[in-house]
């Protein structure tokens, strides 16, 4: 017999802003709900190591959903190519719909990159709803540093260019096997989806002075950032942490996708955080 | 500095498969010098060292020599490990027709990284 993983995957119908969406999610473990948010242009497979980590699964019910348009989740009805743009409000609706749809009580939410940004919005608007929030590669805003139109052009293969962008965001010290898989997820994204997610990351989701509204006493926030990330750098996370009045953790030898590019290294940093939350 | 790109090895043979329809030439500028690199079917066929009088090329990557040397370390430091990271730090500039570069972005990243000693295979 083959060795089976403890992960189960399911589909469900979720109402997001009044529209029915067919969403795919995976889960494993029992205990405190820990909802994990994948990065822009990728999908829930990024959390494959967490979903297999015995230590975490003893005390946490880990859940990872693919956002609409990503992974195995469907696009909403009446969609067309080229019009996808993730807004802050839509992203919040997706997360709350998932949590409420599964009747999760006081979950922990952990997000990376765009997920690391949206947890800040959750902290501002719904702190009472969460047991804790964990931001990986979090920054309050990001000024564009390359032309994202290259990510969706009919004369450039989207999988090739998105994979090329994602590859460089990882640490040279991360294992090639995990880096390749992380890049491969990007290569499988649909046309314009990575670019559409970056509308949130680089424009709509930028947080200005609102960051001052975050009250860490209402909901504990933990920030961890990989040293090789040049998108959300440790320096930018530090500015964010200082604004909130908390410490941040700089993770050695990882880049923008810690849970996927170097799970072994990442889990050394995550376990102590989850122990505090538990 | 970049002349060994014409040397053939297993790694570069694999890379050429990723760019088998790519025919282009591009310039790497180190401020101190220039290198004109020609690619045919994904294979680097020549690297000419400047100075040039009237070079013709599709696109150019410009960064100071010390930044290229940081990029070429066996394990580069954060911010020097990738050409987009260097772009982000504003120490590298892309200009010209970027289509050959962006349509083969991973190829160019790995091609340049192949100059690093003991750079791991992807």
Q: What is the pLDDT of residue B120?
A: 46
How many Å apart are CA B84 and CA A151, to the nearest integer? 14
Q: What is the pLDDT of residue A208?
A: 86
Which tens digit of pLDDT belongs to each residue from A117-133?
A: 999 999 999 999 999 99
Confidence of residue B1 (pLDDT cuts 50, 70, 90): confident
Indicate the burial class of A13 (C-beta count within 10 angstroms; 0-12, 13-18, 19 or more).
exposed
Residue B121 has pLDDT above 50, yes or no: no
Question: Is residue A199 within 8 Å of A85, Cβ to Cβ?
Answer: yes
Which tens digit of pLDDT belongs to each residue from B15-34?
A: 999 999 999 999 999 999 99
How many Å apart are CA A75 and CA A97, to the nearest integer? 16
Looking at the predicted complex, does its ipTM rise above 0.85? yes
Residues in chain A: 278
Alpha carbon of A204 to those of A25, A118, A134, A195, B98: distances in Å? 26, 11, 21, 13, 27
Which tens digit of pLDDT belongs to each residue from A32-67?
A: 999 999 999 999 999 999 999 999 999 999 999 999
Write down the domain spans for chain A: 8-277
A227 vs B78, B99, B102: nearest CB: B78
Q: Which residues of B65-82 are buried (b: 16+ CB within 10 A; e: fewer)?
A: eebbebbbeeebebbbbb
DSSP letter for A241, please: H
Domain A8-277: top CATH class: alpha beta
Which tens digit of pLDDT belongs to each residue from B27-60?
A: 999 999 999 999 999 999 999 999 999 999 999 9
Check if A162 contacts B (Cβ < 8 Å): no
Q: Which residue of B has its CA nearest to A174?
A: B120
Write down the domain spans for chain B: 3-62+94-113
Q: Is the peptide bond before A275 cis (omega within 30 degrees of 0)?
A: no
| CB pair distance less than 8 Å for B121 and A176 | yes
Which of A255, A264, A39, A41 minimizes the C-alpha distance to A168?
Answer: A255
Which tens digit of pLDDT belongs to each residue from A132-156?
A: 999 999 999 988 899 999 999 999 9
Q: Which residue of A has its CA nearest to B121?
A: A176
pTM of model > 0.90: yes
Output the average pLDDT for chain B: 95
| CB pair distance less than 8 Å for A176 and B122 | yes
């Amino acid at each position: 017999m083959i060795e089976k993983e403890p992960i189960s995957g399911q589909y469900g119908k979720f109402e997001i802003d009044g529209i029915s969406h067919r969403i795919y999610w995976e889960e494993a473990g029992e205990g405190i709900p820990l909802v994990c948010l994948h990065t822009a242009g990728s999908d829930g497979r990024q959390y494959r190591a967490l979903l297999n980590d015995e230590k975490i699964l003893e005390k946490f019910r880990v859940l990872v959903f693919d956002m609409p348009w990503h992974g195995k989740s469907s696009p909403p009805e009446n969609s067309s190519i080229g019009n996808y743009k993730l807004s802050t409000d839509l992203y919040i609706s997706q997360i709350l719909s998932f949590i409420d749809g599964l009747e999760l009580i006081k979950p922990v939410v952990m997000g990376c990159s765009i997920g690391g940004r949206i947890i800040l919005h959750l902290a501002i608007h719904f702190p009472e709803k969460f047991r804790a929030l964990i931001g990986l590669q979090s920054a309050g805003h990001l000024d564009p540093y390359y032309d994202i139109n290259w990510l969706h052009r009919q004369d450039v293969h989207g999988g090739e260019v998105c994979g090329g962008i994602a590859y460089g965001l990882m640490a040279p010290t991360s294992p090639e096997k995990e880096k390749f898989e992380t890049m491969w997820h990007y290569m499988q994204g649909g046309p314009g989806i990575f670019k559409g997610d970056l509308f949130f990351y680089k424009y709509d989701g930028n947080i200005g002075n609102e960051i001052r509204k975050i009250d860490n006493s209402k909901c504990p926030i933990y920030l961890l950032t990989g040293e090789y990330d040049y998108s959300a750098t440790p320096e930018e996370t530090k500015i964010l942490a200082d604004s909130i009045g908390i410490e941040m953790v700089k993770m050695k030898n990882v880049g923008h996708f810690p849970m996927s590019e170097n799970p072994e290294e990442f889990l050394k940093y995550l376990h102590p955080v989850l122990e505090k939350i538990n | 500095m970049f002349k060994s790109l014409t040397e053939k090895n297993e790694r570069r043979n694999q890379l050429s498969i990723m760019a088998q329809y790519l025919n282009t030439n591009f310039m790497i500028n180190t401020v101190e010098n220039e290198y004109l690199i020609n690619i045919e079917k994904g294979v680097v066929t020549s690297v000419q060292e400047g100075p040039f009088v009237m070079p013709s090329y599709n696109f150019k990557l410009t960064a100071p020599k010390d930044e290229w040397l940081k990029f070429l370390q066996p394990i580069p430091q954060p911010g020097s490990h990738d050409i987009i990271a260097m772009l982000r730090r504003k120490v590298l500039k892309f200009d010209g027709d970027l289509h050959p570069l962006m349509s083969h972005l991973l190829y160019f990243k790995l091609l340049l990284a192949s100059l690093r000693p003991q750079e791991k295979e992807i």
